[in-house]
Structure 1
Amino acid sequence: MDKNQTGIQYMQEGKWEEAAKFFMEAIEENPEDPVSYINFGNVLSAVGDTEKALKFYKKAISLDENAAAAYYSAGNLYYELQQFEEAKDMFETAMKKGLESGDNYFMLGMTLVALEQGKFALPYLQRSAELNEDDAEAFFQYGLCLAQLDLIDEAIKQLEKCVMIDPEHADAYYNLGVAYGFKEHEENALKFFNKALEIQPDHLLAGYGKKLISKTN
């Protein structure tokens, strides 16, 4: 097993210092390999050293301008820092460089939502859900984006897929309640608000939605 693989194993176990040691050794042995810089950047990112992490991603890109994973990792950092324009550029570049992963589509979609460009986010969130069939959050965010664009029936379908995967997703039940309330199906709306509150008793929005439905009936 090479040093990068050993480092990744330590990362998966949350042993950041051990992982960093192996990645640094890999860099020393092969300073022209962008993968080691990306991996070391991921360790720095995980421990919150964002500034240094970005330097390592940029170093990887300087060694290989087609290192799609470096753009994706940098995009995640920019997203966490709420620098959404920079994040968007990175995720788009990762895609252009051949990264066809559900995670990259998801993050690009989320970035566009953050930039209040829901219409442009929609196809990326849709593709993310198609590629990540077992990812409840992918369906939740896709459903949420559809709802924000007033595509209520389609939003309901995606939110229902979300709760099939994750039956404890309180926010998905709450948003199903909102969607059915919007369609004036009060009985269904109440059922979903109750379900959200059953999972998360302090869900303020679900509590408010329930009160609103109860008042109108």
Structure 2
Amino acid sequence: MSGHLDYEINKELGECYLFMGELDKAEEYYKKAVGSNGVHPDPYLGLATVAVQRGDLNDAEIMYRKAHKIEPSDKSLSGIGLIRMENGDKEEAFTLFVEAIGMNPENMVALFSLIRLGHELNRLGEIIPHLENYLEIDPAKHEVRYSLAGCLVCAGQTEAAAKQLEIILEKDPEHNAAKEMLEQIRS
């Protein structure tokens, strides 16, 4: 069997077992994939996910970093970012998530982690442009627009926030959270 086919099959099996929650089997096939053909980031991302599910964050970070060395991606960056955030390195995590969004503006893990860190680190002003970029790609994503409105309120830009909330309510008149925030701004 050719090396590449071997690699694909092992990677697929790893993904199937991971999806079914069979971590030992998943790990076994990802390790075979790592050994079967050349150097690919995917099996390391898989092994990182297995480690995260086992609660072994150190091992997960090692695997994410290996994947990142082979081929930097928003997935490896946001993976490392999540672990740094868990470990309390919020500043470093913030930087990693910004880098991840630079590579893929639609990375929801990075986006929502940035919103959380923005609040915790008082850096909401910095994440507003990233939320705006995302909404240019996917304007119908109300939760991102609602978060943007929240950030704008915190940044003292209440008029801009009200505009965002009106866009949500135009499309979804029953959006109660948006209604409440708008009432608070207007009162």
Matched, 1:188 2:160: yes
Task: Name the amino acid aligned to 2:128.
Answer: I
Question: Number of aligned pairs?
Answer: 184
Aligned partner of 1:44: which letter?
Answer: Y
Matched-pair identity in %: 20
- Please name the residue that 1:176 is paired with: 148
Q: Which residue, 94, 102, 120 being the options, matches 1:130? A: 102
Deviation at 1:75, TM superposition (A): 1.5
Map Cα deviations across residues 138-169 of structure 1 (whole Å, 9 max, x no partner): 77347525623222222111111010111011
Q: Structure 1 residues 103 and 139 mapped into 2: Cα distance closer, same or farther (>3 Å)?
A: closer
Cα pair distance change 1:93/1:163, threshold 3 Å: same
Aligned to 1:10: none
Pick one of 40, 46, 55 that aligns with 1:83: 55
| Range moving further from structure 2, 147-156 or 202-211 | 202-211
- Greater shift in the superposed pair: 85-94 or 194-203: 194-203
Contact (CA 8 Å) 1:58, 1:70: kept in 2 or not? Answer: yes
In the alignment, is residue 50 of structure 1 matched against residue 59 of structure 2? Answer: no
For residues 84-118 of structure 1, the C-alpha deviation after alignment (integer angstroms, 9 at most, x for no partner) is 6143332123224x231222112222343344433
Amino acid at match of 2:150: V
Report the 3-state secondary structure (helix = DSSP H, G, I; strand = E; otherwise coil) of the residue aligned with 1:77. helix
Pair 3,99 (structure 1): closer, same or farther in 2 beyond 3 Å: closer
How far apart, CA to CA, are the structure 2 residues paired with 1:88 and 1:123?
A: 16
Q: Residue 124 of structure 2 aligns with which residue? A: 152
How many angstroms apart in 1 are the aligned matches of 2:169 and 2:60? 35
Q: Which runs of 5+ in 2 are unaligned?
A: none
Unaligned 5+ runs, structure 1: 6-25, 27-33
Moved more, 135-144 or 164-173: 135-144
Q: 1:67 to 1:165 in 2, by over 3 A?
A: closer
Q: Could you tell me which residue of structure 2 aligns to residue 140 of structure 1?
A: 111
Alpha-carbon contact 2:94-2:114 (below 8 Å) kept? no
| Partners of 1:136 and 1:162 within 8 A in 2 | no
Mapped to 2, the partners of 1:207 and 1:120 lie a distance apart of 35
1:106 aligned to 55, 63, 78, which one?
78
Which of 135, 147, 150 is matched with 1:163 structurally?
135
Q: Any idea what SS the aligned residue of 1:168 has?
A: coil
Kept in 2, the 8 Å contact 1:136–1:161? The answer is no
Check 1:43–1:202 CA distance in 2 against 1; reply closer, same or farther (3 A cut): farther
Show the 5 A alignment for 1:6-17: none
State how far apart, in whole Å, the 2-side matches of 1:104 and 1:69 are.
Answer: 10
1:26-45 mapped onto 2 (5 Å cutoff): 26=6, 36-45=9-18
CA RMSD of aligned residues (A): 3.4
Answer with 1 or 2: which has the greater Rg. Answer: 1
